[in-house]
Amino acid sequence: MVSVVIPAHDEARVIGRLLARLAGSGFDIVVVPNGCTDGTADVAASFGVRVVTSPEASKAEALRLGDRAARGFPRLYVDADVELGADDVRALAAALDRPGVLAAAPARVLDLTRRPWPVRWYYDVWTRLPEVRRGLFGRGVIAVGADGHARLARLPGVIADDLAASLAFAADERAVVETARVLIHPPRTWGDLLRRRTRAVTGVAQLEEAALDQAGGSARTSVRDLAAMAARDPRLLPRLALFLTVTLLARWRARRAGAATWQRDESSRE
């Protein structure tokens, strides 16, 4: 039995678009509303899935609760604000049957309609980065079998949970499944882009401070990567300049805000 664990904090506006594509598929679906002040639990329950509530607004704790409630493997951890179909889940489960593959994630499809040009330019660079293309992070979905799950169970509760999960597996232990697609809703505003990137910077810093055993290496973007992109296509130079500006601003904001600050992007939930 495939289990799908969905942590959800105040996601009443958007969780229905995910559950509408998964409910009735025969999967064991567990939604964990955590610290919610809206109707997330009621919306989830209306789709006939199991709901396990937590008073604490903590994604890490929600994942632990959902994990304990889940009944089978393969097991998927899915963010409530993305869209994933039943066939995509099956493709990810099938990928875990390949010899040596412990973790899998779908290909990204970014909905950039009605996004301002700075947001589009940023993601035009971000999606070309080698580690972004290879890694399981930034997709809102990670699938593991029993062996992969055992490795994830040893990870601490850090903000960059999907990045930590991706780096826990070596390149030959993880698979990006092109026949599976996840629809991601990027930020709609410049401010929300900065908030999302500040959260990402904070998560990377937490991982480095935790000194985890990162079998997958590092996901940091190198100057060499950006220089290689500019050499291949000089037309990207304005976009690369904007990408660097966002990166530097996010690092500055992360240092000011401190590691405990949650930088949530609300615009992608509209």
Q: Tens digits of per-residue pLDDT, 16-57? A: 999 999 999 999 999 999 999 999 999 999 999 999 999 999
- Can you give the pTM of this predicted structure? 0.89
206 against 189, higher pLDDT: 189
Give me the pLDDT at residue 9, please: 95
**Percent of residues, the chain, with pLDDT higher than 90:** 72
Mean pLDDT in residue range 144-166: 80
With contact defined as beta carbons under 8 Å apart, do 74 and 93 qualify? yes
Least confident range of 126-135, 153-162, 220-229: 153-162
Using the predicted structure, report yes or no on whether residue 113 has a pLDDT greater than 90. Answer: yes
**Hey, which residues does 109 pair with through a beta bridge?**
183
| Strands (DSSP E) found in 15-140 | 28-33, 50-51, 75-78, 83-84, 103-110
Using the predicted structure, report yes or no on whether residue 63 has a pLDDT greater than 60. Answer: yes
Segment of 142-151, 161-170, 194-203 carrying the highest mean pLDDT: 142-151
Give me the pLDDT at residue 202, please: 80
Helix (H) or strand (E) holding 244: helix 237-257
Q: Name the DSSP class of 71.
A: -
Chain centre distance of CA 32: 16
Angstrom distance (rounded) from CA 11 to CA 13: 5
Mean pLDDT in residue range 106-128: 96
**Percent of residues, the chain, with pLDDT higher than 70:** 89
Give me the pLDDT at residue 193, please: 95
Using the predicted structure, report yes or no on whether residue 131 has a pLDDT greater than 70. Answer: yes
Using the predicted structure, report yes or no on whether residue 260 has a pLDDT greater than 60. Answer: no
Segment of 102-106, 133-137, 226-230 carrying the highest mean pLDDT: 102-106
What are the tens digits of pLDDT across the range 84-111?
Answer: 999 999 999 999 999 999 999 999 999 9
Using the predicted structure, report yes or no on whether residue 147 has a pLDDT greater than 50. Answer: yes
Q: Name the DSSP class of 172.
A: G
